[in-house]
Structure 1
């Protein structure tokens, strides 16, 4: 059996749920993708971009505490984050899902399609 995403340092149940929505179901799968590809998948699945969430992921995959990210390293990660964010176009229906997730309401994509 694979280890859960939340077994990675810094990553908890909420991050694990976001990963599941993005099709990432194990710590091994997350490690294989790497932080940039995994974060891209998170954004494509409707997660809202947040720099702290990105660098927490990067630090966790390196086995480092989240608050270890400082100075030039943090500036470099910000550039990577901005590039990832700019590369992902969020379709309006995905933004609606992300907004509903943010307030604790979840709908399926089928609920958003006109009949």
Structure 2
């Protein structure tokens, strides 16, 4: 028996649900149990390209809030969490172009 679909969580549409299914999430309860940070880390590990708006939309959705409700200090804190999450997944064998983009400040944050 399966639970509610991933798209039953606010801010999760069909495209994000597909990425989540690829990362192994079965349903909304499975996602809620894991939480936003661990879920997004798993998504990155399974090939989802990191994107800050996707991350904070997930965080807001798991709190039942619209994605555009994230502002000010809260958004600043979430940005720091997102950057730390991405940095923890950075592999030492980045391509030369990624290294150059990082020097310009255009690396994973682009």
> What is the aligned-residue RMSD (CA, Å)?
1.5
SS in 1 for 2:35: helix
Aligned residues of 1:21 and 1:45 also touching (Cα < 8 A): yes
Number of aligned residues:
92
Q: TM-score, normalised by structure 1?
A: 0.76
Distance in 2, matches of 1:12 and 1:76, equals 24
The whole-number CA distance in structure 2 between the counterparts of 1:74 and 1:33 is 21
Quote the offset at 1:90 in angstroms. 5.6
1:53-102 Cα offsets, whole Å, 9 max, x none, are 0000000000001100000000000000000001113698xxxxxxxxxx
Query: What's the secondary structure of 1:14's corresponding residue?
Result: helix
Describe the shift of the 1:27–1:91 C-alpha distance in structure 2 as closer, same or farther (beyond 3 A): farther
Say which structure is richer in helix. 1
Runs of 4+ in 1 over 4 A off after TM superposition: none
Structure 1 unaligned runs (5+)? 93-115
TM-score of the aligned structures, taking structure 2 as reference length: 0.80
Q: Map 1:97-108 onto structure 2 (within 5 A).
A: none
Matching residue of 2:28 = 27
Partner of 2:40: 39
Unaligned runs of 5+ in 2: 94-110
Counting only pairs closer than 5 Å after superposition, residues 1-80 of structure 1 correspond to structure 2 as: 1-80=2-81
